[in-house]
Copies of this chain bind each other. A is one copy, B any other.
Amino acid sequence: MRYLMTFSYDGTNYNGYQKQPNKNTVQDQIEGALLKIFSKEISIHASGRTDAKVHALNQKAHFDLEKEIDLYKLKKSINSLINDDIYIKEIEKVNDDFHARFNVVEKTYIYKLNVGSYDPINRNYIYQYNKELDIESIKKAIKYLIGTHNFKSFTKTDIEKDDYIRTIYSIDLLKEDNLLTFTFKGNGFLRYMVRNIVGTLIQVGENKLKSDDILHIIESEDRKEAGKTANPEGLYLKDVKYNN
């Protein structure tokens, strides 16, 4: 029996989602609870990793159990065993061939950035950039990123990886008072891709890059051409969509 869980977490106190030796991760927390409940190791398979300090509003992971179980009770049990900075929102039964990573058709990330003065209350939840940015130039630059491109300039190059082509469906930028919220929708995102795009858009907003420099950065397929990786605390995995 295969099940899919939807969960949210505050990434502040974790070394990211994915299990690593001697690190405190979100996956460790949830698998630790499953081990206590079922007295055996049960692996969960997420839609993808999130980095240290990155948050999730609706992360998804599948796992297998030998038999049918009361899903409401299981959800309650897991939530009572994990830290209060992670919350299992829902568990549902899925087909045996469903895969939380391979079946993704769309992911949504949001990135929050404060262009006003330093806000200690949101220091772990909104990137404290704390300077003004040229929003119009950023909006122009965004247009060059939409569509299907080789995003090698915006990720960590990996010898074993040869597919850097992804499709970005949309990037919306909303300004409410001093809060900028970028919403990215795409068929998938490479490692650090959202944060590297935001870091590059910040340079556009600082007028250190021109809006159409984005074109050349994409074409270069060279990480050194793009901007710095924006801080992790502003990033949230918002939604993961699957084909029905």
Listed in ascending order, the chain A residues whose CB lies under 8 Å from chain B are: 8-10, 55, 57, 79, 84-87, 89, 117-121, 123, 125
A119 to B55, CA, bound (A): 12
Q: Could you say which of B57, B79, B121 contacts A8, with CB atoms under 8 Å apart?
A: B121
A111 CB to closest chain B CB, in angstroms? 15
Residue of B nearest to A87 (CB): B120
* Contact across chains for A8 and B120 when beta carbons are under 8 A apart: yes
Residue of B whose beta carbon sits closest to that of A121: B10
A107 to B144, CA, bound (A): 49
A8 to B114, alpha carbons, bound, how many Å?
16
What are 23 sample pairs from A and B whose C-beta atoms fall under 8 A apart? A8-B119, A8-B120, A8-B121, A9-B120, A9-B121, A10-B120, A10-B121, A10-B123, A55-B121, A57-B121, A79-B118, A84-B120, A84-B123, A85-B120, A85-B121, A85-B123, A86-B120, A87-B117, A87-B118, A87-B119, A87-B120, A89-B117, A121-B125
Q: Using Cβ atoms and an 8 Å threshold, which residues of chain B touch A117?
A: 87, 89
Name the CB-closest residue of B to A84.
Answer: B123
Main secondary structure of the interface of A (DSSP, over half): mixed
With a cutoff of 8 Å between Cβ atoms, the chain B residues found around residue A85 in the complex are: 120-121, 123
- Closest chain B residue, CB of each to CB of A123: B84
Residues of B within 8 A of A87 (CB): 117-120
Residues of chain B within 8 A of A8, CB atoms compared: 119-121
Least CB distance, A58 to chain B, in whole angstroms: 12
Cβ-closest chain B residue relative to A118: B87
Residue of B nearest to A82 (CB): B120
CA distance A159 to B89 in the complex (A): 48
A236: nearest chain-B partner, CB-CB = B121
Chain B proximity of A27: nearest CB distance (Å): 15
- For A84, the chain B residues whose CB sits under 8 A away are 120, 123
Q: State the Cβ distance, A239 to closest chain B Cβ, in Å.
A: 15
Give the one of A10, A57, A84, A121 with max B CB within 10 A: A121
6 closest A-B pairs by beta carbon, nearest first, are: A87-B120, A10-B121, A85-B120, A10-B120, A87-B118, A8-B120
Residues of chain B within 8 A of A120, CB atoms compared: 8-10, 84-87
